[in-house]
Amino acid sequence: MAPDLIDASLKLVSFAAISGWRDDDHLAAFASFLKTARAESSDTLHLRPALPGFPSLKPIYAAALQKADQDIDARAFFETHFTPYAVSPHQGRGFLTGYYEPEIRGSLKKSVEFPIAVLARPADLITFSQDEPFPLEGLSAGRQTSAGLEPYFDRASIEDGALDGRNLELLYLPDRVELFFAHIQGSARVRLPNGRICRLTYAGRNGHLYTTIAKLIVSEGHMALGEITLESLKHWLRHNEHHARRLMRLNQSYIFFSLSETLSPSDGPIGAASTTLDTGRSIAVDRRQWCYGLPFFISADLPDGHGQTEAFSRLMIAQDTGSAILGAARADLFMGSGDEAGRRAGLIRHQGDFVVLLPKG
């Protein structure tokens, strides 16, 4: 049974009709799918819950795990177990953005060079669902007080000290701009003065609305849309401190982290589905409309990083979500870790076409 989408419809297509399908590296997509299969088969809790998975996905996960150490025809695996449907938005085409795992300088000790704290999840942060299955912003958050359940502190309140004195500080960053973009991406690698890398993993959010700072900067006339890249945004925020502080606070959403001790340097960050993400194969989707683990074949003309565009046709796995990822034909492409990945991710704001692979049966 196909999902009941909010803002799109599904049309049955054939694999032969999908442009670029035969030429993709299906084995790379299968490796990413295996990660979800392992997590789902072990009943790993999701960092951010999504729609429940199709029951018919379970035997497909089992079949994938059986073939994990075998030489397989990965394209045949997907064609055998899934049926492709084009996702057609009620208005326009699908839309793609990119995200990445920043690498930031930091310290375990507060200092003049590193004054801004990264906070762990507070003990009184309660996540709950206001509607079934999900309201517009998914799970909300609050805190229990003597007067009842109240909204959690927003970004401005936290910056002004609402959580001071709780020993939530994990480590320290050079400025609020770096912390702000770590919040946007939901993860980060932090390079300590001795060269050691710490990994920050998403641990919760305060439940307030997410507001895109680029839109605020453009709407107030500080920069033109065509001028905005990751580098230009950071440069403008650091050189317009008064406006920057005010605009960043208009994004009331605030992210809390944990320190991961198990990730190797070669691992990607942990996504909302509690699997490590793979560069160019993992996507964030709207968790109100899709479950984790579904394969999507995405086609678009995306920037090549040198002022031109190139064809992008690739099978990707839904393993993450985000507060700004709203729409059945809406995805955030994970582009990797570090500054170059961030530069490439920041260039992606493009239309694209979506084909979802739904489990047979």
Provide the sign of the torsion angle of the four alpha carbons 38, 43, 44, 49, taken in this order.
Answer: positive
Q: Cα separation of 314 and 19, whole Å? A: 10
pLDDT of residue 355: 98
Do domains 8-99+266-359 and 101-260 share one topology? The answer is no
How high is the mean pLDDT of the chain? 92
CB 282 within 8 A of CB 316: yes
Q: Cα separation of 305 and 292, whole Å? A: 29
According to DSSP, the β-strands at 82-89 and 349-359 are antiparallel
pLDDT digits (tens, 9 = 90+) for 196-223: 999 999 999 999 989 999 999 999 999 9
Report the SS3 class of residue 97.
Answer: strand
150: confidence class by pLDDT, cuts 50, 70, 90: confident
pLDDT digits (tens, 9 = 90+) for 220-249: 999 998 888 888 999 999 999 989 999 999
How large is the average pLDDT for residues 134-162? 80
48 compared with 130, residue with greater pLDDT:
48
Nearest to 297 by CA among 339, 214, 355: 355
For residue 96, what are the contacts with CB-CB under 8 A and spacing of at least 6? 298, 300, 302, 330, 331, 332, 333, 348, 349, 350, 351, 352
How large is the average pLDDT for residues 38-64? 91
What CATH topology corresponds to 101-260?
Answer: Ribosomal Protein L25; Chain P (2.40.240)
pLDDT of residue 137: 41
Relative orientation angle of helices 74-81 and 57-66, to the nearest 10 degrees: 160
User: What's the predicted TM-score (pTM) here?
Assistant: 0.87
According to DSSP, the β-strands at 330-337 and 94-101 are parallel
131 pLDDT above the threshold of 60: no
139 pLDDT above the threshold of 80: no
165 pLDDT above the threshold of 50: yes
129: confidence class by pLDDT, cuts 50, 70, 90: low
What's the CATH code, domain 8-99+266-359? 2.40.40.10
Nearest to 70 by CA among 29, 27, 22: 27
354: confidence class by pLDDT, cuts 50, 70, 90: very high
CB 101 within 8 A of CB 268: yes
pLDDT digits (tens, 9 = 90+) for 248-289: 999 999 999 999 878 888 899 999 999 999 999 999 999 999
Locate the domains of the chain by residue range: 8-99+266-359, 101-260
